[in-house]
Structure 1
Amino acid sequence: MAMVFIYLRGFKVWISYKTQVVLTVLSWTLPVFTYYFVGTSLGQHVVSAVGVHDYTQFFVIGLAFQGYMSSVITTISQRLRNEQLYGTIEYYVISKAGVTGFLTYSALWGFLLNTINAVVILSVGYALGVRYDVNFVSTGLVLITLIVSTFGLASLSGAFTMIIKQGNPVSFFFSTFTTLMSGTVFPVTVLPLALRYVSYALPLTWALNGLRDSMLMDASISSIWNIVAALLIFDVILVPLGIFSFRVAFRHAREKGTLAEY
């Protein structure tokens, strides 16, 4: 079943649109050059303003992994929306995989695509002079906890799509504001205090801090344990909440006869 969603329903469909593939890769790489030239042209002014030692290292890690949250959440909503438009949503959710299986397998393609995205951006960053000192155990643990929390948020986003069809507030927030709010291209410490509190309520903020330490400074698990613990709390809260919300929304849509409406 996973192969069907990842390879047949995901990769083969994606790769069949060659122009879209090229444009997608460009959309990954062009922001790296944008922020790189901003940083190099303004030089020490940018570094001192945002309070980081190496601005290129900072934003490369942020751009590489920001998509794990914003893009995956958007992907789940779009997949669910497309199936409603195609009239095939009933076949997916009443299949052997069930409601949770539909969410899980749909998320797998989003995670895989964003892994490719991260590799491309990290490679471009290396070509621009970023040097990584990776602790693979710490990096893997932070990524896993980030992915789990993202799955919970994606499930919650899917619940909104199931009910309101268009205008998903969860998808809109995480696709629009995560770059601003989660420390992707500048530290959250430069934000106003009220927005800083909102930022720390996002799993991505914690994950990016942990990834910068584990990928640039070889940080061990013990040295970033506070970050891992925060992400685990997000996981424990968001995954049950997301799955429960999606199941309730699915049951409500089925009882109202609006499951396939668009």
Structure 2
Amino acid sequence: MESKGILTKLYSFLYIRGFKVWTSYRTQVALTILSWVLPVFTYYFVGTSLGNSLVERIGVKDYTSFFVIGLAFQGYVSSIITTVSGRIRNEQLYGTIEYYVLSRSGVTSFLFYSAIWGFAVNTINAFIIMSVGLGLGIKYDINWLSSIIISVLLILSTLGLSFLSAAFTMVIKQGNPISLFFSTFTTLLGGVVFPVTAMPIPLTYLSYALPLTWALQGLRGSFLDGEGIVQEGGIILVLLVFNVILIPIGVLAYKYAFRKAREKGTLSEY
């Protein structure tokens, strides 16, 4: 019975509230896909204009494959975090968040299933970007086991950050610094379109405090060079540490913010 309930929730959040609503706005879908594809060509022509010799100075052999993997998987961080915080914000505006509080699932379950929709959207995003990369001449040598493990660990760490972002939204309503940072600055600091070693040393150290930096390093190895879990063992261990830290912090922060909002009677305020 419980598994049936989970499948019902997945159907409701992924198909009815997610995919069905998303595809009903066809212009928005087309513009969203363009927003995924255009940066690929932008960085492709930038890399082409710089020339191989200049690109190799920053330690990148094939710049196209480097940024394609970066753009494909950075979206997991930005989309999941913005989806969760945005969903909380919308429910506050619509005045419906209290219904989730009173429901059997609870608002925590609501956040979890909202994050799954962010994951689903970016899976489409990643597939499209990597397909474009294939058309641009990238040759993938994929080790599926290590790729899946690193991707799952990245998503789980992002889930912890999304709960932390939801905690800020619950309290301050607008101007979420967590959502802004991980949806915008990770492109700069996460090694998405250039290696972090090309930055000033203080920023390089800061970038290594982000799970995305480690995940992209591992994913480039598993997708482009066929590296398995033995070669990726160190990166997998680091990502596990991130998860052990970020998931409990995110859940505790969200529960604390939720409790305080209820005590102050500001839960549905916007």
TM-score, normalising length: structure 2: 0.95
The number of residues matched between the two structures is 262
What amino acid is aligned across from residue 77 of structure 1 in structure 2?
S
User: In structure 2, what is the equivalent of residue 260 of structure 1?
Assistant: 268
Q: Following superposition of structure 1 onto structure 2, how do residues 1-262 of structure 1 map, counting pairs within 5 Å?
A: 1-262=9-270
How far 1:46 moved relative to its partner?
3.8
Classify the secondary structure of the residue corresponding to 2:121: helix
Structure-1 separation of matches of 2:92 and 2:145: 40
Classify the secondary structure of the residue corresponding to 2:57: helix
Classify the secondary structure of the residue corresponding to 2:151: helix
How far 1:27 moved relative to its partner?
0.2
How far 1:22 moved relative to its partner?
0.3
- Which stretch of the first structure deviates more once superposed, 34-43 or 154-163? 34-43
How far 1:44 moved relative to its partner?
1.9
What amino acid is aligned across from residue 76 of structure 1 in structure 2?
V
46 and 109 in structure 1: CA distance in 2 versus 1, 3 angstrom threshold: farther
Structure-1 separation of matches of 2:253 and 2:118: 20
- Which stretch of the first structure deviates more once superposed, 97-106 or 231-240? 97-106
Structure-2 separation of matches of 1:163 and 1:110: 22
Tell me the alpha carbon deviations over residues 110-148 of structure 1, each in whole angstroms, 9 at most, x when there is no partner.
000000000000000000000100000000000010010
**Identity over aligned residues, as a percent?**
65
Moved over 4 A (4+): none
Is contact 1:152–1:240 with CA below 8 Å preserved after alignment?
Answer: yes
58 and 253 in structure 1: CA distance in 2 versus 1, 3 angstrom threshold: same
Tell me the alpha carbon deviations over residues 125-184 of structure 1, each in whole angstroms, 9 at most, x when there is no partner.
000000100000000000010010000000000000000000001001111100000000
Is contact 1:182–1:202 with CA below 8 Å preserved after alignment?
Answer: yes
* Runs of 5+ unmatched residues, structure 1: none
Structure-2 separation of matches of 1:99 and 1:201: 29
How far 1:45 moved relative to its partner?
4.1
TM-score, normalising length: structure 1: 0.98
Structure-1 separation of matches of 2:254 and 2:207: 25
Structure-2 separation of matches of 1:73 and 1:93: 21
What amino acid is aligned across from residue 11 of structure 1 in structure 2?
F
